[in-house]
Structure 1
Amino acid sequence: MKILVILPNWLGDAVMATPAIELLSLHYPHARFTFIGSYVSIEALKHHPLCERAIVDETKKSSSRLFATYKLAKELDEFSLAVSFRNQIHSSLLLRFTSTVICIARSSWHSKLLLSHTPKIKTDKHLVEQYSELAMINTDHFNGESPNLKLYIQRKKFDRPTLGINAGATYGSAKRWYPERFAEVASSYSDKYDIIIFGGPNEVEMAEEIEDNLKALQIKNYTNLAGKTSINELCSFIAGCSLFITNDSGPMHVAAAYNVPTVSIFGPTRYKETSQWKNEKGLIVRHEMECSPCMKRECPLKHHNCMKEITASEVIEAVKELDLKD
């Protein structure tokens, strides 16, 4: 049975879609997947053992995205089932152009016009649960239970216990805690862990700020990998960490997929919807604010208090609480 899956664009959202994909593979034991998505989502999920084909969607780069979408659809095989985790018109068009009979996407004006199954999925639950409900809408056997996150990238084995620091958050500056505070937390555990600073190509400057602060604190056992890892390496290295300190971000969800002990720092986003899924070793540090969750890329009030008021001491105490659980 061939199933087409259009993945979410963001790394974290793609990881949160993996329980839905696992449910599909369990319900359809002879399933073979074709994944279509952004470069980062494809790089993270293409290792699934039932993935026959993984395609980076580059239709946005075309002078005519409509024609490029049609052309891509006609280059694909026939499918028994197609699911889109994107709520976007070109994704609906892609499913329709494949001539697949059973096409599933969240309810929207374009999906209702173009596709066969367009359920209204309530947003008052974790995004993992939303994706799972969507994927299983055409079955009678879904009991509402979503499995764990699942990535098939091999875990890196470090010689010593390793603390991962992730100060970035691709969505925007409002989700980012401060480099000097990350450095303060890292320095408090530098006697127990080697330190790796993670970050994407656009987060190199922030990682260098953490590095400068560590140097000022005379910490030497760190490696700055910001902008230097592939998606495969990023996932592998995070999976190998003994402890992870992070903003609400894609790497946070990667850590959850491997049950890495994690302290996640939340500010303007809905923590009940995008916190780590089923990571028993994960804790959240956040402050309740009248203005949060605002879901803005930058603080609209210009004070950033939801992150500014979180101290390094609070995060250090959260790490201690994690240690008590082990």
Structure 2
Amino acid sequence: MVKKIFIEIPTWLGDAIMTTPAIENIIKSFPEAKITLLGSYVSTEALKNFENIEKVIIDDSKKAGSRYLNLIKLAKKVGKVDIAISFRRSFSSKLMMFFIDSKKTISYKRYTKKEIHQVLRYNDFINRKLNLKNKAGDLKLNFTPFSYKKPTLGLNPGATYGSAKRWYPEEFAKLATKLSKNYDIVLFGGPNETAIASDIEKILVKNKITNFQNIAGKTSVSELIEKIAGLDLFVTNDSGPMHIAAAFKIKTVAIFGPTKFTETNQWNNPNETIITKNLYCAPCMKRKCPLGHHDCMKLIKAEDVLKTLGEENGGKEKL
């Protein structure tokens, strides 16, 4: 009988959220097992409320001292488990997993080169390694949505991976200005994304828009999830917050440039619209545009989003 399971989740928030259908299937297959969860602070904060989680360990192995020794110490913190699972492929992860006291140890592996959604890759990995046949369900985050007083639009101009994934603040601001008649506006962003949110705020102030709030860099992970979960509309780059919105099936316009929307768009959200220009050079999967023009994002305009929303709402969001 499986009594204890260790799970290492991805460092990036979006990737961690995309493991949740697979984690749900692990819990369904071993309902009596207690889980120890390890990952970055952001990732573990997002997933810590899953049922069956007994202990959460934050990966602080990059702190002072030898990272390799720190990884071994992390492994020792886990204790004895029946199954140790990692959703990561890095050398550091493999090293840590080697030192975990587990009857069975499995590390993430991609089983096909075909373009399939990352959620399916994670779920397929679990099915194959644990001899299961579970389908991938919805993304899941165990938080209660925030209750806004009025219809609210969220804008997420950041993307932790790199500048190539970021749509332009001028276009976000133009969009917000046009939609401020129908929605209150909330600007989201992490601690390193306050500058781009501030750029949008300055334009909104210049345009005399007052029904907005800029909470970039001011929320905990829990607050970020709850406030995105309560939105009526979300416009976002390919990012962790995009996947938060997917978990709650929020109406979303997702802006894609250099990344593969076939692999990382919102999973099982029927309320998502993807906007991309499908250029010859995309998806390049680079952190910065290797050609220097960044046309995959630069050619996307606020009008493209407004047109999409106008078509869906019978022309409500017209220029």
TM-score scaled by structure 1? Answer: 0.92
Quote the offset at 1:42 in angstroms.
0.8
Partners of 2:84 and 2:100 within 8 A in 1 = no
> Which residue in the other structure is 2:18 paired with?
16
Partners of 2:79 and 2:101 within 8 A in 1 = no
> Which residue in the other structure is 1:250 paired with?
240
Inter-partner Cα distance in structure 1 for 2:154 and 2:309: 13
Quote the offset at 1:121 in angstroms.
4.7
Inter-partner Cα distance in structure 1 for 2:31 and 2:289: 46
Pair 1:159 & 2:166 matched: no
| Counterpart amino acid of residue 259 in structure 1 | K
In the TM superposition, what whole-angstrom CA distance separates every residue of 1:25-82 from its partner, at most 9, and x where no partner exists? 1111112211100111011111112211111101122421222111221222211111
Inter-partner Cα distance in structure 2 for 1:163 and 1:44: 22
> Which residue in the other structure is 2:77 paired with?
75
Instruction: Quote the sequence identity (%).
Output: 46
> Which residue in the other structure is 1:219 paired with?
209
> Which residue in the other structure is 1:133 paired with?
124
Inter-partner Cα distance in structure 2 for 1:323 and 1:272: 26
Inter-partner Cα distance in structure 2 for 1:45 and 1:301: 37
> Which residue in the other structure is 2:317 paired with?
none
Pair 1:238 & 2:240 matched: no
Inter-partner Cα distance in structure 2 for 1:93 and 1:10: 20
CA 1:3–1:220 in 2, change beyond 3 Å: closer, same or farther?
A: same
Local SS of the residue matching 2:81: coil
Quote the offset at 1:136 in angstroms.
2.2
Match of 1:148 among 124, 138, 141: 138
Partners of 1:34 and 1:52 within 8 A in 2 = yes
| Counterpart amino acid of residue 176 in structure 2 | A
Match of 1:37 among 31, 36, 39: 39
Inter-partner Cα distance in structure 2 for 1:314 and 1:185: 10
> Which residue in the other structure is 1:115 paired with?
none
| Counterpart amino acid of residue 85 in structure 2 | V
Counterparts in 2 of 1:250-289, with a 5 A limit?
Answer: 250-289=240-279
Match of 1:3 among 5, 27, 33: 5
Inter-partner Cα distance in structure 2 for 1:123 and 1:5: 26
Quote the offset at 1:150 in angstroms.
0.2
Which aligned runs of 4 or more in structure 1 are off by greater than 4 angstroms?
A: none
Pair 1:311 & 2:311 matched: no
Inter-partner Cα distance in structure 1 for 2:136 and 2:245: 18
Quote the offset at 1:138 in angstroms.
3.1
| Counterpart amino acid of residue 314 in structure 1 | D
Local SS of the residue matching 1:218: coil
Quote the offset at 1:83 in angstroms.
1.0
Local SS of the residue matching 2:223: helix
> Which residue in the other structure is 1:88 paired with?
90
| Counterpart amino acid of residue 156 in structure 2 | N
Pair 1:292 & 2:282 matched: yes
Inter-partner Cα distance in structure 2 for 1:227 and 1:26: 36
Local SS of the residue matching 1:102: strand
Quote the offset at 1:123 in angstroms.
5.2
Pair 1:204 & 2:194 matched: yes
Inter-partner Cα distance in structure 2 for 1:323 and 1:94: 51
Local SS of the residue matching 2:175: helix
| Structure 1: gaps spanning 5 or more residues | 108-118
| Counterpart amino acid of residue 11 in structure 1 | L
Inter-partner Cα distance in structure 2 for 1:295 and 1:60: 26
Match of 2:103 among 96, 101, 105: 101
| Counterpart amino acid of residue 136 in structure 1 | N
Counterparts in 2 of 1:167-206, with a 5 A limit?
Answer: 167-206=157-196
Inter-partner Cα distance in structure 2 for 1:4 and 1:98: 9
Quote the offset at 1:120 in angstroms.
3.6
Alignment RMSD (CA, Å): 1.4
TM-score scaled by structure 2? Answer: 0.94
Quote the offset at 1:139 in angstroms.
3.5
Partners of 1:121 and 1:134 within 8 A in 2 = no
Partners of 1:283 and 1:322 within 8 A in 2 = no
Partners of 1:267 and 1:292 within 8 A in 2 = yes
